[in-house]
Amino acid sequence: GNSVTQMEGPVTLSEEAFLTINCTYTATGYPSLFWYVQYPGEGLQLLLKATKADDKGSNKGFEATYRKETTSFHLEKGSVQVSDSAVYFCALSVDSGGSNYKLTFGKGTLLTVNP
Amino acid sequence: GAGVSQTPSNKVTEKGKYVELRCDPISGHTALYWYRQSLGQGPEFLIYFQGTGAADDSGLPNDRFFAVRPEGSVSTLKIQRTERGDSAVYLCASSLGQGLQETQYFGPGTRLLVL
């Protein structure tokens, strides 16, 4: 089946620190990969995505590269801000017989950035 | 514009009772999804609607769970004979169409507690 494993939190960083949240996956087909973010009191929002190997998704200073050889999609940001404090979810979707809408999520990683 | 809204935001009920959870998708979005997020876990797919019909209900855990979308807009998730294990956050998402290029927009969720 399909599954996503992401690093356990919580992660606590100081402002301007470098962030990495690891994500690896297993998939029965060729997946598209996503990072979603959930800010306090808000719904899940798509942060970035990549649909094929070696693609790099980027948004708001965050980046993640689709690595097929290591089945990974690690999230990085060079300098975090207090406003980046949120829960981050790695997810995948596999195009299988037309059912490419199902998102399979990891457990989420809570990030807290202190001033 | 308005995002996906869900009501109620919180629901407390007693074991054995019936509950209804409502989702108002973004206007014009034909695809609607329900997910369930248990404590410490990522969201898990429940059901997908394209228009008025449930195109995929493979994620519903058992026949106590049912969802409708009679006019292709608002959807209601219905849970009969609730059990303590049903306690979770129920998330609704909508997208303009169906497919990997279509971003799913999530609502803030309904937090259900079964006592």
| DSSP per position, chain B | ----EEE-SEEEE-TT--EEEEEEPPTT--EEEEEEE-TTS--EEEEEEETTEEEE-TT--STTEEEE-TTSS-EEEEESS--GGG-EEEEEEEESSSSTTSPPEE---EEEEE-
The residue of B104, B105, B111 whose CB has the most chain A CBs within 10 angstroms, and thus the best one to mutate to test that interface, is B104
B103 chain-A contacts, CB cut-off 8 A: 46
* SS3 at position A84: helix
Q: Select the residue of A42, A102, A108 nearest B108 (Cβ to Cβ).
A: A42
Task: Note the pLDDT of residue A102.
Answer: 86
Using an 8 Å Cβ cutoff, are B73 and B22 in contact?
no
Give the model confidence (pLDDT) of B37-63 as tens digits.
999 899 999 999 998 988 889 999 999
Give the model confidence (pLDDT) of A48-107 as tens digits.
999 999 999 999 999 999 999 999 999 999 999 999 999 999 999 987 666 667 899 999
pLDDT at residue B1 tops 60: no
* Contact at CB, A43 and B4, closer than 8 angstroms: yes
Task: Note the pLDDT of residue B86.
Answer: 97
- Which chain B residue is nearest to residue A38, measuring alpha carbons? B108
**Mean of pLDDT values over B60-74:** 95
Task: Note the pLDDT of residue A43.
Answer: 86
Q: Select the residue of A41, A100, A107 nearest B99 (Cβ to Cβ).
A: A100
pLDDT at residue B13 tops 80: yes
